[in-house]
């Protein structure tokens, strides 16, 4: 049926299908259901990658590069151990296996120690979590941070736009903040997800800011379709009263500072 | 066989060119992301899995023989990574409970949104309620416009299975979205 609707059937198959649908009530109603479903999807759904902004896609290849670098470092350490072991087994046959086993133990201990030293999160939780879990937690935290950053950026743009909106001219325009309301709904959904996942103590302030933003975004999303100008003024007052834009800026400054400090540390480590 | 320019890039990558690999990443990143999302239904995980898949591709580039298109090989790796992540997610029972709580919270917070007339929100919700493979097939075949053959290769199943999942998924979506037609949320 789907192939028929997309015009992918051959002429012969298409005719046979149509002849059948004309006499079969069940297939006819199924075809109608599939047609309606595809129409709904065509009209309303975007491809998932379109949920990410241009900035995200510009950074994507860089993120892959960084992960490849890390992966190469790890695999070069592993292959070095393997090479040493192989050469020992080959050239020192009388003592080879015993010596190689002892060396393997030393190298594994060194590997675990180097990973432990490199990753602060792992250091804190060595006795509570396995090494793999700690690494996963670090990746998840970084990914959550980057998502929160995107969220704050989008919210900031939206709120600045709203603060600069003149309610006198707004009433005259036909589309009453439809676009802003649409974005707000998406951001509310995102903020609910973010606040449920931001459980690290270091993310407490960020979580509070996102919760504050969520309330404002819900208010924007729930504005009456037309002429709710007093509602806009109340929201503007709420943004000012809670210093939301100031808090977003503060969060951005702190992030930048952390990022610079992090880079400094990396440079120190490499030198 | 890959398109000539892509074939050139593959040759360059085999010679050790990282720039050529970067071009391949930029060419396929959006499709890779969509495939990961179609399986996982989560943007965070899709981001992580798409990157992870490219790292795996880079690591095992020597194994790519070139009998199939590069994109088919890559997308299959993305799909495998996504399915593994899904299994891993299910194994983590504790995390599953947390997610269930999070879902409830989201449901209560978004009560106002559910009552809106935003059709997109309803469609996305219904799509994510579909079983994994049905959702993946509907998204890859319909939203991303891939052919039945391509989807069957990516998800490692027969073309018949793709057609069945597509039909069932679309039918189920239509049933669950009936209220949009009737005008009652």
Measured CA to CA in angstroms, residue A169 lies from A130, A172, A174, A227, A229 at distances of: 60, 5, 11, 11, 10
Minimum-distance CB partner of A40 among B31, B34, B123 = B123
pLDDT value of residue B103:
53
Write down the domain spans for chain A.
2-45, 72-132, 138-270
Task: Tell me which chain B residues have a C-beta less than 8 angstroms from the C-beta of A75.
Answer: 59
**pLDDT tens by residue, A4-35:** 888 888 888 888 888 888 888 888 888 888 88
Residue with tokens 């239509």: B174
**pLDDT tens by residue, A140-149:** 777 888 888 8
Residue A29 CB neighbour total at 10 angstroms:
11
The chain B residue lying nearest A75, using CA atoms, is B59
pTM (2 d.p.)? 0.53
User: Which residues, 6+ apart, have CB-to-CB distance to A105 below 8 Å?
Assistant: none
Given a cut of 90, is residue B33 above it in pLDDT? yes
User: Which residues, 6+ apart, have CB-to-CB distance to A171 below 8 Å?
Assistant: A227, A229
Task: Tell me which chain B residues have a C-beta less than 8 angstroms from the C-beta of A64.
Answer: 25, 29, 51, 54-55, 58
The chain A residue lying nearest B28, using CA atoms, is A61
Angle subtended by helix axes A54-91 and B43-59, to nearest 10: 40
Question: Quick one: tokens of A22?
Answer: 């004309």
Domain B4-89, classified CATH 1.10.1740.10, yes or no: yes
Task: Tell me which chain B residues have a C-beta less than 8 angstroms from the C-beta of A184.
Answer: none
Residue with tokens 């209220």: B179
When pLDDT is cut at 50, 70 and 90, the band that residue B52 belongs to is very high
Q: State the smallest CA–CA distance between residue B144 and chain A in angstroms.
A: 7
Minimum-distance CB partner of A38 among B102, B119, B142 = B142
When pLDDT is cut at 50, 70 and 90, the band that residue A94 belongs to is low
pLDDT value of residue B30:
92
Does A192 contact B48 at a Cβ distance shorter than 8 Å? no
- CA atoms of A183 and A221, how far apart (whole Å): 8
A45 touches chain B (CB under 8 A): yes
Average pLDDT, chain A: 75
Does A185 contact B118 at a Cβ distance shorter than 8 Å? yes
Rounded (5°) CA angle B157-B161-B163 = 125
Give me the architecture of the B93-182 domain, per CATH. Orthogonal Bundle (1.10)
CB distance B28 to B46 below 8 Å: no
Read off the pLDDT of each residue in A155-159 and give the average, rounded to a whole number: 86
CB distance B139 to B127 below 8 Å: yes
Read off the pLDDT of each residue in B112-139 and give the average, rounded to a whole number: 76
Minimum-distance CB partner of B48 among A2, A139, A188 = A139
A30 touches chain B (CB under 8 A): yes
A1 touches chain B (CB under 8 A): yes
Q: What is the DSSP letter of A225?
A: S
- Chain A, 146 to 165: residues with Cβ < 8 Å from chain B are 147
Please tell me the least confidently modeled range out of A182-196, B13-27, B106-120.
Answer: B106-120
- CA atoms of A172 and A174, how far apart (whole Å): 7
The chain A residue lying nearest B162, using CA atoms, is A2
**What does A98-160 look like in DSSP terms, one character per residue?**
HHHHHHHHHHHHHHHHHHHHH-HHHHHTTTTS-HHHHHHHHHHHHHHHHHHHHHHHHHHHHHH
Q: What is the DSSP letter of B15?
A: T
- Chain A, 84 to 143: residues with Cβ < 8 Å from chain B are 139-140, 143
When pLDDT is cut at 50, 70 and 90, the band that residue A263 belongs to is low
Q: Name the segment(s) of chain B with CATH classification 1.10.1740.10.
A: 4-89
Q: State the smallest CA–CA distance between residue A148 and chain B in angstroms.
A: 11
Does A2 contact B118 at a Cβ distance shorter than 8 Å? no
Residue with tokens 């690999």: B21
Q: State the smallest CA–CA distance between residue B119 and chain A in angstroms.
A: 7
Minimum-distance CB partner of B113 among A48, A144, A185 = A185
Alpha helices in B15-118 (DSSP H): 18-40, 43-59, 70-91, 93-109, 111-114
A207: enclosing H helix or E strand: helix A204-221
The chain A residue lying nearest B175, using CA atoms, is A33
- CA atoms of B98 and B101, how far apart (whole Å): 5
CB distance B25 to A62 below 8 Å: no
**pLDDT tens by residue, A119-152:** 655 444 444 455 556 666 777 777 888 888 888 8
């Amino acid at each position: 049926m789907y192939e028929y609707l997309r015009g992918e059937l051959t002429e012969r198959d298409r005719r046979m299908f149509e002849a059948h649908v004309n006499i079969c009530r069940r297939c006819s109603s199924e075809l109608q259901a599939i047609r309606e479903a595809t129409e709904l999807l065509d009209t309303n759904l975007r491809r998932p990658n379109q949920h990410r902004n241009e900035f995200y896609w510009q950074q994507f290849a860089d993120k892959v590069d960084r992960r490849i670098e890390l992966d190469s470092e790890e695999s070069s350490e592993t292959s070095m151990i393997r090479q040493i072991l192989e050469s020992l087994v080959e050239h020192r046959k009388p003592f080879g296996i015993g010596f190689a086993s002892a060396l393997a133990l030393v190298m594994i201990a060194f590997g675990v120690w180097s990973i432990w030293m490199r990753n602060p999160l792992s250091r804190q939780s060595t006795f509570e979590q396995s090494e793999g879990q700690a690494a996963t937690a670090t990746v998840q935290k970084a990914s959550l941070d980057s998502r929160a950053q995107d969220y704050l950026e989008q919210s900031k743009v939206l709120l600045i736009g709203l603060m600069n909106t003149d309610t006198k001219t707004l009433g005259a325009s036909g589309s009453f903040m439809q676009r802003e309301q649409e974005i707000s709904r998406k951001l509310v959904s995102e903020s609910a997800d973010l606040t449920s996942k931001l459980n690290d103590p270091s993310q407490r302030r960020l979580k509070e800011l996102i919760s504050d933003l969520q309330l404002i975004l819900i208010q924007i999303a729930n504005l009456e379709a037309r002429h709710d100008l007093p509602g806009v003024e109340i929201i503007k007052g709420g943004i000012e009263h809670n210093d939301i834009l100031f808090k977003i800026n503060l969060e951005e400054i702190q992030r930048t500072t952390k990022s610079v400090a992090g880079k400094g540390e990396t440079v120190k480590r490499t030198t | 066989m890959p398109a000539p320019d892509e074939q050139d890039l593959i040759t360059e990558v085999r010679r050790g060119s990282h720039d050529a690999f970067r071009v391949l990443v930029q060419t396929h990143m959006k499709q890779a992301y969509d495939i990961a999302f179609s399986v996982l239904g989560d943007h965070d995980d899709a981001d992580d899995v798409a990157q992870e898949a490219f790292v795996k591709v880079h690591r095992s580039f020597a194994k790519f023989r070139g009998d199939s298109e590069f994109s088919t090989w890559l997308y299959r790796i993305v799909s495998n990574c996504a399915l593994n992540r899904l299994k891993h997610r299910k194994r983590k029972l504790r995390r599953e409970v947390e997610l269930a709580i999070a879902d409830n919270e989201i449901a209560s917070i978004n009560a106002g949104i559910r009552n809106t007339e935003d059709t997109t929100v309803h469609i996305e919700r219904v799509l994510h309620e579909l079983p994994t493979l049905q959702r993946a097939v509907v998204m890859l075949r319909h939203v991303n416009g891939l052919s039945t053959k391509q989807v069957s290769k990516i998800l490692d199943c027969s073309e018949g299975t793709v057609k069945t999942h597509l039909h069932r998924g679309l039918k189920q979506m239509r049933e669950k979205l009936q209220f949009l037609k009737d005008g009652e949320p």
